[in-house]
């Protein structure tokens, strides 16, 4: 299947942007496009050697800095290095459908990386952010549920897809609660979210490693439905630079939001539950030791 016409990033000379997970997939595509448009892009990556290799192939202004979202000490060290203004933070990095693994701080890996790591990073960097925070979620948020009795899968039977859905729903609840707090603080910064639809990226490696059924589903889905990582990055780029209101959620406009051109889309109703969002925020503050700084 052919991909839609790529979203064209306007010229953004001097724009300071941080992209987490920028050494591959959607993060790399977004970093490359923004740098080509004149932005000064920081590739925030776990593997600096790999990040440096890909940065060499990017046209424009880039720097590579170490960030392991599964380690709060690394998140704090990364954030402490930034004293200059940051126009855009793109919370892109993530893991998908992994076996039960614990982060350095004891969190379930997907919840700890996809949500808590970005939650802490955003709060720590927010005093320097002048434009917007873009957080990348997923269609899997539709199946997500926030289990406050066992956020880190310590008592219930682990489900790799259940954990992924919870983390991606948390991304949206975080975005909408962040926007509410920014508005109450009379801040000009906005929080928006995006999802790539069904895109072929390195995240699917974990699905392909889940046995014969997982590999078959991944192969069939890629052939019938998936768009390229480049097309999958379009909603993120649109969310980063288009004229949008706070709390906008951007995704593909076609075939169940799985592929197509970027536009504002509707999330699952659970993502708009303000009470759950506030409760998740407070739990995330306790778990990460970070707070809204404005």
- Structure tokens belonging to residue 195: 């999802």
b/e for 213-234, b at 16 or more Cβ within 10 A? ebeeebeeeeeebbbbbbbbbb
SS (H, E, C) 12-59: CCCCEEEEECCCCHHHHHHHHHHHHCCCEEEEEECCHHHHHHHHHCCC
List Cβ neighbours of 229 (8 Å cut-off, separation of 6 or more). 25, 26, 28, 29, 199, 200, 201
Q: How far apart, in whole angstroms, are the C-alpha atoms of residue 78 and residue 65?
A: 7
CA nearest neighbour of 237 among 178, 194, 185, 207: 194
What letter does residue 210 receive in the DSSP assignment? S
- Structure tokens belonging to residue 197: 């639809």
Q: How far apart, in whole angstroms, are the C-alpha atoms of residue 1 and residue 24?
A: 22
Which of 158, 164, 198, 238 does the annotation list as catalytic?
164
- Taking the CA atoms of residue 48, residue 52, residue 53 and residue 59 in that order, the dihedral angle to the nearest 10 degrees is 150
List Cβ neighbours of 240 (8 Å cut-off, separation of 6 or more). 17, 30, 34, 88, 90, 132, 134
State yes or no: is 164 an active-site residue: yes
Q: How far apart, in whole angstroms, are the C-alpha atoms of residue 197 and residue 35?
A: 24
Count, residues in the chain: 294
Point out the residues that are catalytic. Answer: 164
């Amino acid at each position: 299947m052919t991909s839609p016409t790529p979203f064209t990033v306007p010229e953004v000379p001097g724009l300071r942007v941080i992209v987490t997970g920028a050494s591959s997939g959607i993060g790399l595509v977004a970093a490359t496009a923004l740098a080509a448009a004149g932005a000064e892009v920081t590739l925030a990556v776990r593997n600096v050697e790999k990040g440096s290799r890909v940065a060499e192939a990017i046209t424009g202004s880039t720097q590579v800095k170490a960030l392991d979202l599964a380690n709060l000490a690394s998140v704090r060290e990364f954030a402490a290095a930034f004293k200059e203004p940051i126009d855009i933070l793109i919370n892109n990095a993530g893991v998908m459908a992994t076996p039960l693994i614990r982060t350095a701080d004891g969190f379930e890996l997907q919840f700890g990386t996809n949500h808590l790591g970005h939650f802490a990073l955003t709060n720590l960097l927010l005093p320097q952010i002048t434009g917007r925070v873009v957080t990348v979620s997923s269609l899997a948020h539709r199946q997500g549920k926030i289990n406050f009795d066992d956020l880190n899968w310590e008592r219930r039977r682990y489900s790799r897809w259940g954990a992924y859905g919870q983390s991606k729903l948390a991304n949206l609840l975080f975005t909408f609660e962040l926007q509410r707090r920014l508005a109450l603080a009379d801040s000009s910064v906005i929080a928006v979210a995006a999802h790539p639809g069904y895109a072929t990226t390195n995240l699917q490696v974990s699905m392909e490693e889940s046995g014969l059924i997982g590999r078959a589903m991944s192969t069939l889905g890629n052939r019938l439905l998936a768009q390229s990582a480049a097309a999958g990055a379009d909603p993120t780029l649109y969310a980063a630079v288009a004229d949008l209101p706070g709390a906008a959620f951007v995704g593909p406009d076609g075939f169940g939001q799985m592929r197509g051109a970027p536009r504002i889309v509707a999330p699952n109703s659970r993502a708009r539950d303000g009470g759950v969002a506030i409760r998740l925020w407070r739990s995330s503050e306790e778990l990460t030791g970070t707070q809204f700084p404005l």
